[in-house]
Each structure stands twice: as C-alpha cells, then as structure tokens.
A and B are shown apart, each in its own frame.
Chain A
Amino acid sequence: MTTRRIVSNEKTYLDADSKGASEPSNITPAVPASVIWKLLSFTFAMITLPIGSYFFTLKYVFNGNSTYAGALAAVMANVVLIAYVVVAMKEDQSERLEEEERSKKSM
C-alpha cells in the first residue's frame, strides 16, 4: 500500500505568498548614526586641521617661519590619525562588552 499526500491540506506557494506581504521592509541604515557622525567629524578634521593650523600658526605663533608651521601641519595630520585609531580600538572594546553583557543576560 502506498500512502498518498493529502493535497487539500497542503499550502501552495500562492498561499504562502499572500502572507506577510503588507509588512514594511526594514529600511533603517545598517550603520548607526553615531558612527556616521564620528566618520564625518574625522573627515572634517582631516581636511581643516592641518591647513588651518598651518596658516594660523604662520601668522600668530611662528611669525612667518613657514618651516615650523609646515612641520606642525604634518604633526596635526598625524594627531588626527592617532585619534582615529584610538576611537576605532575603543569601538571594538565597547562592542565586545555589549556582546558579553548580552550573553550574560541570555544565560
């Protein structure tokens, strides 16, 4: 004897398709707003800080000694880089802490 599928109880793909179609799709950005603000502020600092510090110190601090002002501009660019690396490392740690807390709660 062979068994037969009960076709009337099974759902066709048409039935499955009608379910959940009215659900709105998830359109929130994958990157949180804080990260975008961090990136934007670092971009702004990278563009303005070296050039701004060059012209400011050339006029008011070093009184026309353009070599010191240029060296300071290069130093400021590296300061922005180090700040970026520190922020990126901190974000890594905060994410790990959050995950640990989540796993603790679930246990």
Chain B
Amino acid sequence: MENAQAPVFAPFFGMSGIAFAMIFGCAGAAYGTAKSGIGIAGVGTYRPDLIMKCLIPVVMSGILAVYALVISVLIANDIRPPPTKNYSLFAGFMHMAAGLSVGLAGLAAGYAIGIVGDVGVRAYMRQSRIFVGMVLILIFAEVLGLYGLIVALILNTRASG
C-alpha cells in the first residue's frame, strides 16, 4: 500500500485542514460576537428598544462559524481510514488549503465585524440614520468570509474529483 502518491502521513494534512477551519473560523466568530456584544451592552443600558436591531453583527458572526462548519464537514466526509480509501498527499494538501482559506478568511471577517459592530452600534444609538450604512459595512465584512468559503469549496471539489 505504501507509495509516493499516498504516504501514511497524508491524512495528517487533511485533518489539520479540518482543525484550522474550525479553530480560526470560530476564533473570528468569537471575536466578532464578543466585541460587538460589548457595544450592545453599552447601547442596551440607554436604549433597550434598539437591542433587536443591534444584534445583527452577532448573527453575522454566527454565520462565519457556519461557513467553517460546512467546510469541516465536507473535508471530514472525504477522509476515510486507509484500507477503504487511498488518501493521496495531494488531497491532503488541498484539504489543508481549503481549511486554512475558510478559517483565516473567517478570522479576518470576524475581526472586521467585531470592530464595526462595536462602534457602529454605539453610533446608531445617537444617530438612527447610520443603520443602513452600518448594515452595508457589516455585509461587506461578511462577504470576506464568503470568499474564503467559495475558494474552499472549489479546492474541496478538486481534491475529491
């Protein structure tokens, strides 16, 4: 079974891709939730009626974790123990690249969502017309994570197909 294309350590890279996707993606989602949660707590003491609308950055951070989860499930579906599947080193690197791209893109998007959510929600407390602008900025930050997801999906199809 031992050959150059599918060495025994190849699954290590695929599994590290799963771990990178979840660790970095959830780190970004956690930062976005916590940082915007600080701003929401600051707003809620003065204008509790605005909390429903101020929770948008928290929902967006949750979506980043869903992206990482989707890629992790996809990669985990492709990895099987050695006798049932010949897992090549190429597929391992491909899965690691997929996990890293969705994870680090999620980290970047979560960082942006956290900062914009914190400051934008506090500004929305004073000036209600900033809401549309805040949501647009949050969407553009969120799209960064979506790009990572798209690249990871393409990489994942190349590795399995």
Instruction: Confirm or deny: A97 has a beta carbon within 8 angstroms of a beta carbon on chain B.
Output: no
Give the residues from 44 to 71 in chain A that come closer than 8 angstroms, CB to CB, to chain B.
46, 50-51, 54, 66-67, 70-71
Q: Which residues of B contact A66 (CB under 8 A)?
A: 73-74, 77
Q: Which residues of B contact A67 (CB under 8 A)?
A: 74, 153, 156-157
Are A91 and B157 in touch, CB under 8 angstroms?
Answer: no
Q: Which residues of A contact B52 (CB under 8 A)?
A: 35, 38-39, 88, 91
- Name the one of B53, B70, B142 contacting A70, with C-beta atoms under 8 angstroms: B70
Bound-state Cα–Cα, A84 to B142, Å: 15
Bound-state Cα–Cα, A77 to B70, Å: 11
Residue interface mask B71-83, A partner, CB < 8 A = 1: 1011001000000
A contact face: mostly helix, strand, loop, or mixed: helix
With A31-B51, A67-B153 as given contacts, are A46 and B62 in contact (CB-CB < 8 Å)? yes
Which chain A residue lies CB-closest to B66? A77
Bound-state Cα–Cα, A31 to B55, Å: 14
Bound-state Cα–Cα, A74 to B152, Å: 12
- Name the one of A50, A85, A91, A95 contacting B66, with C-beta atoms under 8 angstroms: A50
Nearest CB of B to A48, in Å? 11
Give the residues from 25 to 77 in chain B that come closer than 8 angstroms, CB to CB, to chain A.
48-49, 51-53, 55-56, 59-60, 62-63, 66-67, 69-71, 73-74, 77
Bound-state Cα–Cα, A51 to B66, Å: 8
On chain A, which size bracket covers the interface? 20 to 34
Give the residues from 76 to 96 in chain A that come closer than 8 angstroms, CB to CB, to chain B.
77-78, 80-81, 84-85, 88-89, 91-92, 95
- Name the one of B55, B135, B149, B156 contacting A74, with C-beta atoms under 8 angstroms: B149
Cβ contacts A to B, 6 pairs, < 8 Å: A66-B77, A70-B74, A74-B66, A74-B149, A88-B52, A89-B53
Q: Could you tell me which A residues sit within 8 Å of B by CB distance? A: 30-31, 35, 38-39, 42, 46, 50-51, 54, 66-67, 70-71, 73-74, 77-78, 80-81, 84-85, 88-89, 91-92, 95
